[in-house]
Amino acid sequence: MTKADKTKRTFFKKAAAAVGFVAAAGYLSNLMSGRANSIQAINENSENDVIKQKKAWQQKQLVVMTDSDKKQMLDEILDSHNKYNA
């Protein structure tokens, strides 16, 4: 069994490594949040939302409802509303 190295030098080495790691993580996180907070990123993200909406609507098709369609839809809406408010 090897004896654990408990010298002061090793301790400082480990402490320095830990501090370095935390600093790097902090720097990276700052860098990333800085990017996310930039006006360009905010606008890009918002624009993406609009594009998604456009795509969603491009996949839809409006069809004319027959009288029975209308009745069925209205009945379902009113029935659901009554259940909510019961």
Partner 1 sequence: MSDEKAETDNKKGGVKTNRRDFLKNVGVAGASTLMASSASANVSAGSSNPDAEVTAAEWLQGHFVLMSDKDKQEAIARLEKRYTAQYGKKTTVSNTPPPEGVLFGYALDISKCIGCRRCVHACVKENNQSRSNPVIHWIQVMKIPKGNLAFSADKLNEGYPQSSAIGDYGVQVGGNAYEPVGGLSTEHAETYYPDDELVPDKSYFYVPVQCQQCEKPPCVKACPVRATFRDPNGVVVIDYNWCIGCRMCQLACPYQARRFNWGEPNLPPEEMNPKTHYFGNRPRMRGVMEKCTFCLQRTREGRNPACLEACPVGARKFGNLLDPESDVRKILATKKVFRFKDEMSTYPKFFYYIG
Question: Residue numbers of the site for partner 1 (CB under 8 A)?
Answer: 37, 39, 41-43, 45-46, 49-50, 52-67, 69-70, 73-74, 76-78, 80-81, 84-85
Q: By the 8 A CB rule, do 35 and 41 touch?
A: yes
Closest listed residue to residue 71, CA positions, set 63, 79, 81: 79
CA angle in degrees (0–180, nearest 5) for 21-23-24: 65
In whole angstroms, the minimum distance from the beta carbon of 79 to partner 1 comes to 9
Q: Closest separation between CB of residue 86 and partner 1, Å?
A: 11
Rounded to whole angstroms, the Cα distance separating 76 from 79 reads 5
- Least separation in angstroms between CB 57 and partner 1: 5
Nearer to partner 1, 30 or 48 (CB): 48
